[in-house]
Structure 1
């Protein structure tokens, strides 16, 4: 921001990282550009198996069959960061069930609802910034 002082206000477009945007209804929609910061400080994490990575990156929800590991004591409807098995952050979502309930589910049941993934850089590059 100190360097931005030397640029005139009418020529400066933005400073820093875009974490998201406010919708017309006043809600904040988190963008994938915040993933690097969320991944560092995330309390709840899920590691996805290699056979489920591409499905998640195409915008699909995560089924129980694709879960490699998950943090302990994750509550239902909680934000969660998705990692590959190699600890590469892939995106984030919202849990459909708690960790206790996930153990009882069928392999085809949804565990995490998709919110954003790194594939959005390609799919929505016109509206991302």
Structure 2
């Protein structure tokens, strides 16, 4: 586990700020201690500073993961968030969208969100802003990118795409046959 370079830290913070805005600082300086980001084999992990200090006792080739995997860097140095980052993003999300029960299943199958499945949404969502998707019972289901702003959604037709799908909790089930 090694520290992220300045360039990779900047890329990571830009991606996180699309979803949680200025709350990125809240991820690092938490009431229960100091947290950090570390990289191992192109994947970025999030955990407490104490956890990473304890992990330093292992040889780098023996260490597979430590903390919560937020995502990974591609070969072109872009950062892709994975669904495991949802637990970290949901408490700090600024833009939220709640789905009707009938639309939840479609989203969990990997489809985009149409206006007809929209239960409610936060005010002042900009186009192409990162959003966290919730069920009507406030269970985080995944995240995506807003296809339309809040103002555009009011005048959109029912079949119009409101959110582009990025990741959802159904990925665990869909990828189960690949893992075993």
Q: TM-score under structure 1 normalisation?
A: 0.92
Q: Which runs of 5+ in 1 are unaligned?
A: none
Question: 2 CA distance for matches of 1:90 and 1:106?
Answer: 24
2:128 to 64, 77, 93: 77
The 4+ residue runs of structure 1 with deviation greater than 6 A are none
Bigger share in helix: 2
Question: 1 CA distance for matches of 2:154 and 2:62?
Answer: 54
1:35 to 86, 90, 111: 86
- 2:119 corresponds to 1:68: yes
Equivalent residue number for residue 102 of structure 1: 153
Structure of higher RCO (CA pairs closer than 8 Å, 6+ residues apart): 1
Question: 1 CA distance for matches of 2:62 and 2:148?
Answer: 47
2:105 to 31, 54, 74: 54
CA change 1:22–1:5 in 2 (3 A) is: closer
1:16-35 to structure 2, matched below 5 A, reads 16-35=67-86
Q: TM-score under structure 2 normalisation?
A: 0.67
Question: 2 CA distance for matches of 1:53 and 1:84?
Answer: 7
Q: CA RMSD in A?
A: 1.4
Q: Which runs of 5+ in 2 are unaligned?
A: 1-51
Equivalent residue number for residue 93 of structure 1: 144
> How many residues in Structure 1 have an aligned counterpart in Structure 2?
127
